[in-house]
Amino acid sequence: MVNYLKGRIAEKGEDNRIVLEVNNIGYELYTDNELYHCEDEPCKAFVVMIPGEDEFRLYGFKTQEKRKLFNLLRGVSGLGSKSVIRILASAESVEIVEAISFNDTTFLKSLPGVGKKTAERICLELKSKMKDFSEHLKGLETPQNVDKIKNLNIFQEALEGLEALGYSASKSRQVLRELMEKKEDYTVQQLIKDALKKFLEMN
């Protein structure tokens, strides 16, 4: 059983696919967003090998925690490995963990391939297991819950607004996260306004 691979990223492709070169052998991995954008040299990938109908696929993750989240999500009825890797490539693990902890099905429905029933199943089946992600859940059982839920809702409403304006979900999430890390007391309207300014600066 392979636990992890350590090497350099020799190639990047679509669907968050990379080729990780280890001792002159190229391993094709389907990855989360953190590993896909890894700048370490060498880069360490915690892997899961999953058999398919006609091939074995390797899935790689920057951390053991992210690999654990992958395994939990693919155990939910209606979610396969390919669907889960798309989810993990489009959102940060802290967002997913907090959404499950707060039964935030609205956020989960915004992720690729997740409908209303699947979002509800994710919360129902995994909420009790989120306590294992201690780093992400620090402080969630305090009065700060109110602020966290408020910020998640503001983030989600702003994301939906940007998508309605034609901006991609992945780029919008990245911009919104950067803005909310610098300022916590956003309204939805101001957050969208600042995000649009950010997009203009990027063009």
Find, among 46, 49, 21, the residue nearest to 35 by Cα: 46
Is pLDDT above 80 for 12? yes
Mean pLDDT of 180-198: 86
* pLDDT category of residue 140 using cuts at 50, 70 and 90: very low
* pLDDT category of residue 51 using cuts at 50, 70 and 90: confident
* All CATH 1.10.8.10 domain ranges in the chain, comma separated: 142-203
CATH code 3.40.50.300 for 142-203: no
Q: Tell me which residue has tokens 């939805």.
A: 188
Long-range (24+ apart) CB contacts under 8 A made by 135-144 are: 135/65, 136/93, 136/94, 136/97, 136/98, 137/97, 137/98, 137/101, 140/98, 140/101
Lowest mean pLDDT of 14-18, 21-25, 101-105, name the range: 101-105
146-177 residue pLDDT tens: 455 567 678 878 888 898 999 887 788 778 87
* All CATH 2.40.50.140 domain ranges in the chain, comma separated: 4-63
Q: Tell me which residue has tokens 């994301």.
A: 159
Q: Which CATH superfamily groups domain 4-63? A: Nucleic acid-binding proteins (2.40.50.140)
Alpha-carbon gap, residue 157 to 125, rounded angstroms: 25
pTM of the model: 0.67
171-181 residue pLDDT tens: 887 788 788 87
Is pLDDT above 60 for 145? no
